Structure 1
């Protein structure tokens, strides 16, 4: 099969397929998607989301991460002897570094990060193989007590490399790729908005866009004072950043609070753009710029193109999935529909399998097969295959009917757990909660009593009136490790088959 790399078809193959997949020169541009409905549409404002969340590592940092590693390899800082990448990151940079390091054959990635990083992001970092070190949230880059300093120092050890996104000229990536993509996709852009975190995106895009479009307005968006949104920073934490000329890359600055950022992200997600809180923050920052402009000037006309429209772009840095729990922390419950039948979430969590179900006829043929050395119990096939147990297994019955019914008509080798008649638990949640807890408590994994001692080590057939409770008991017994089968249709179907042995006393 020939090696194929086709950006137009989004196909990557051959030994360098993964490297090519992450190379922006060999990929289609990140999507630019218009947000059709917004408060400013009737005034001729066209708003587009630049979905850096659609990049291979699902975040904007994958491209500067690649750029830092490639530059380090070219400069000799990254060599075949480099075994460890070390970085301080709010998450996205080190996620990208972790993935890219694996592709490039680097064994270990150590991540210094905020102790306020979401559990979902921590789990993601561990999933891709990173070693994590928690530290203070959003420290100043030069703080000797912070994670940035610790990562820099750790990166000076043998076989280690610290890309240091805070001093690395990764803004050059956005000058080389992101800004040119935007200009090609939307040549008449008039307003550009992005959040400011490490400031690489705003610096690279802001400077490049201004160079090519002198009349563009660049909006930087930072977090409200003493607030936290994953990735972006408040202004006081941007002041020490002098190695990127981010101040020259913006024309105005807006602030957004974390509840607002999550709310606008939620709105975007529910309207088809699965983007994270910093994306909602960037869009709201753009709205605030338009609001302030209207308040100060009474018009937006100075922003219009000749066709009367105002094309705007905001950057979407990543997706929402790493922050799911934070949406519920930041937003009131009124933003979310309640979970119906939520009482079921803590019960009936064990496995089911059609192969563990049998008809009364199948159960009858096993329970009443004439025993003898020359006549072992059959391995009766059901509609889906054969029962797992062999002819030497001892079969017992767990009868879940009321005690009176059990004593009146019972099967051989039966033991009674008197649940009695109930509503169908699968159709009536309160019944499921009550009955599951009772069965699980009596014969579940942690149970220890005379009844389970009679069942352990046996093949257990579960029997009820109509099969529903028997099916539930089967799943509980299977979770305990027993080979259990439920008799579907229960006694009611058994009786309709006129199987004579049923009803005979032991």
Structure 2
């Protein structure tokens, strides 16, 4: 088959399994980094643009505006190219530099928020304010507002359909990251409509306020809801069986471990989801086919948490995490 637009490459991403010898479970990764923009956000970005075109909120030749830490912005840049639109991404210092470079390379206009923020502080509130302002002021512009946009979770219907086809033997649990709540809600609702017994575990960074814990700064990018911001209206708590937190160190060290042991470069939020999925399996809380997503690739973070000096400077290095993961995976395999 020959495609005519890059967005036609969205979806049909492969699976990779990680066996846990001696345990009644297999961890299955859906490699969403294989989407053309390098993340699962390609799905929802195009979904939001198509919905806005269909209901008239966007017109051909209009301007898309969104607050993004990078992945949604990259997906929207691709959709803007498909529909011949202008795209303005409102970002802060927390976005990975390579994500911003990618958006620029795809023709996006980058607007940084003003103000002084700590390195580990996410300026989501100011990003949202500026994006909303631009959407209201610029002729023919629309602020996508992914946190409250129902086309966000609707964009993951294809993900669920693919997964059910790829795993005809069944799915027992899904462990996913939660930020705006779009992917977690869309995937969990879809899976539970298929089988209400599928367990759904949502993972947020320690410091995020999604599940009511105290808020404080964190380094994980594109996930969680920082203190001072509001949890997205797209998040449906009723389809989530349990919400848990993962530390920056656990998330980043797991991503580094997966790269060195499995040859797979994953982002920090994915590292966190993998860590918590394994922790639940080892504790006997999950069994059978446990699915999580490689939400984006580690290629975007080579200058941050994949760099030893960057990790050490921020007090995030912890070799004991790799030892723990070896105990869960490698050592048990050798013993078997």
Residue pair 2:6, 2:36 contacting (<8 A) in 1 also: no
Show the 5 A alignment for 1:283-294. 283-291=274-282, 294=283
Partner Cα separation in structure 1 for residue 7 and residue 91 of structure 2 = 29
d(CA) in 2 for partners of 1:233, 1:251: 17
Select the structure with the greater relative contact order (CA < 8 A; seq sep ≥ 6): 2
Q: TM-score with structure 2 length normalisation?
A: 0.80
Indicate the structure (1 or 2) with the bigger Cα radius of gyration. 1
After superposition, the CA RMSD in angstroms is: 2.3
- In the other structure, the counterpart of 1:33 is 16
Equivalents in 2 of 1:75, 1:20: separation in Å? Answer: 21
Mapped pair 1:161 → 2:142: yes
Report the equivalent of 2:253. 263
Report SS of the residue matched to 1:43: coil
Partner of 2:327: none
Q: CA deviation at 1:20?
A: 6.1
Q: 1:248: which partner in 2?
A: 238
How far apart, in 2, do the equivalents of 1:325 and 1:260 lie? 18
> Structure 2 CA distance, aligned partners of 1:129 and 1:242?
28
Distance in 2 between the 1:73 and 1:200 partners?
Answer: 20
* 1:254-333 → structure 2 map (5 Å cutoff): 254-270=244-260, 271-291=262-282, 294=283, 299=284, 304=287, 310-327=288-305, 328=307, 329-330=310-311, 332=317
Structure 2: unaligned runs, 5 residues or longer: 208-215, 321-336
Aligned partners of 1:219 and 1:289 also within 8 Å: no
Q: Please show how residues 349-498 of structure 1 align to structure 2 within 5 Å.
A: none
Secondary structure of the 2:111 match is: strand
Counterpart position of 1:228: 219
Could you tell me which of 118, 122, 126 is aligned with 1:138? 122
Instruction: Summarize the Cα distance change of 1:236–1:212 in structure 2 as closer, same or farther, 3 Å threshold.
Output: farther
SS in 1 for 2:65: strand
Alpha-carbon contact 2:60-2:83 (below 8 Å) kept: no
Q: CA deviation at 1:168?
A: 1.0
Contact 2:249 2:318 in 1 (8 A): no
Cα shift readout 1:331-384 (whole Å, capped 9, x = no counterpart): 54989xxxxxxxxxxxxxxxxxxxxxxxxxxxxxxxxxxxxxxxxxxxxxxxxx
Counterpart of 1:178 in structure 2 is 159
1:216 aligns with 2:198: yes
The partner residue of 1:87 within 63, 66, 73 is 66
* Cα drift, residue 101 of structure 1: 0.8
Give 2:181's aligned residue. Answer: 199
- Residue in structure 1 matching 2:77, options 98, 103, 128: 98
CA change 1:19–1:56 in 2 (3 A) is closer
What is the number of equivalent residue pairs in this alignment?
A: 294
**Is this contact kept in 1: 2:180–2:232, CA < 8 A?**
no
SS in structure 2 at match of 1:183: helix
Distance verdict in 2 for CA 1:112–1:242, change over 3 Å: closer
CA distance in 1, matches of 2:27, 2:289: 6
Report if aligned partners of 1:261, 1:281 keep a CA contact under 8 Å in 2: yes
Q: Do the aligned partners of 2:180 and 2:225 also contact (CA within 8 Å) in 1?
A: no
